[in-house]
Amino acid sequence: MPVVIDMDKCGKISNCPGEGLCIKLCEQGALVEEDGELVLYPDKCDDCDLCITNCPNQAISKD
Amino acid sequence: MSAVERNGNDKRSLDYIRDKCVGCGICTSICPTESLKLGPVLPIARGLVDMDYVNVNKNSCVLCGLCASACPFEAFEFKINDENIKDLDAYPSWKHNASIDDEECLYCKACETACPQDAITIKRTLPVRSKLVTGEINIDEDECIYCGICEEMCPPQAITMTVKEQMERDIKVDEDKCVYCLVCKRACPVDAIKAVCSSCSYGDYRLKSEDAEIKGRSILQEDLCVNCGWCQEICPVDAAKVTKPFEGEVIMDTTECKGDSCHACIDVCPCNAVSLVDNKSSIEEKFCILCGACSNVCPQNCITIKRDKMNLENIRSKSWQNKLSGLMEGK
């Protein structure tokens, strides 16, 4: 089950205290930057949950 | 007699030494005032963010010194009147350590290569090679046609031929390099080289044992060492001895482990004790110091650290004993 991103909490990557930390941590390419926005590719998510535990905005979770 | 007494005359100071910290979180779990916060350990370990592993809230810290006593890596320095408490009789002292016995050491450098913290340096002086072989070699310059075949074939590159002009030619054998293998003699097309190897014909008895001695010394940097036990395990002659900070076990439930997708445990382990086996995290307990860094960063909670004993002695205060014994609970 892929992760869910709360875009209100996330905000733009330029505002992220971790400067897009989730993108850097995700080695599956499930979280990528496109035009300054965080984009999730659910098919690629491997459920490692590193993004959930490390997101400085607590914007990533699972249903 | 007062129930509580404080003497404000003592100068107390706490310093965090980032280079020694591994982000294990022992200090944050022991701090009675919750003045220590663990940062994003995995992103720091991966070099994705430039931060300290631990943040000290100086407004709430009561300068008790528990963190400095509990940290097995000496990443906190707590001083009373400029004296480090680890040197004070009244405070606990860790009994974990590592040492290399130079009397036993063969200077093979296995520990230097294996040490995950680069804490070991082996300096060694090798025997003089020419003293380990005996023989004679001579090139007859009247016979020599300066073809250069011997120079080209000599395995230790002991032969040097120089041709300045047509008839100004020279050939020399460096007897410090020559091992009397006789390849040159056999290859010479005009038999200009006379050479014998007396090591082969007479055996080893002409060699002096002191000429073959390898001298050296080991340097173990205690400020870098985490007492993981790699040196002890890899040493072929048991010259390295390690006492770890904790005794206990690691309990793994890797059902949910994502292996290569995550590998957070591998990245934070200061001991190089974690690897992936069949794409699941596997901890080699021989090298684990039960610091708990991996357990904290694992998103799937696959790792439980169970400490049975800590090699911290001289804990005089009852309240410190209670607090520190909390580290023995499974986490």
Q: pLDDT, tens digit, for every residue of B270-309?
A: 999 999 999 999 999 999 999 999 999 999 999 999 999 9
Delineate the domains of chain B, giving CATH numbers in brackets.
Answer: 12-92 (3.30.70.20), 97-121+219-243 (3.30.70.20), 129-211 (3.30.70.20)
**CATH code for the domain of A35:** 3.30.70.20
Chain B contact for A21 (CB, 8 A cutoff) = yes
Domain of A13, in residue numbers? 4-61
Strand partners, B169: B163
Strand partners, B243: B97
Q: Which residues of A touch B300 (CB under 8 A)?
A: 48-49
Q: pLDDT, tens digit, for every residue of A18-55?
A: 999 999 999 999 999 998 889 999 999 999 999 999 99
Q: Which residues of B touch A24 (CB under 8 A)?
A: 43, 46, 48
Question: Quick check: B262 and A48 CB within 8 A?
Answer: yes
Question: Quick check: B46 and A47 CB within 8 A?
Answer: no
Predicted TM-score (pTM) of this structure: 0.84
Question: Quick check: B262 and A56 CB within 8 A?
Answer: no
Residue A1 — very low, low, confident or very high, per pLDDT cuts 50/70/90? confident
Q: Which residues of A touch B297 (CB under 8 A)?
A: 53
Strand partners, A39: A32
Q: Which residues of B touch A18 (CB under 8 A)?
A: 40, 43, 48-49
- Give chain A's domain count: 1
Transcribe B75-131 into DSSP letters: -EEEEETTEEGGGSTTS-EE--EEEE-TTT-----HHHHH-TT--EEEEEEPPPGGG
Average pLDDT, chain B: 92
Partner residue opposite A48 with nearest CB, options B40, B46, B261 = B261
Instruction: Show the CA angle centred on residue B78, arms to residues B72 and B81, nearest 5°.
Output: 150
Considering Cα of B37, then B41, then B47, then B49, what sign does the dihedral take?
negative
Partner residue opposite B43 with nearest CB, options A27, A47, A54 = A54
Question: Quick check: B40 and A18 CB within 8 A?
Answer: yes
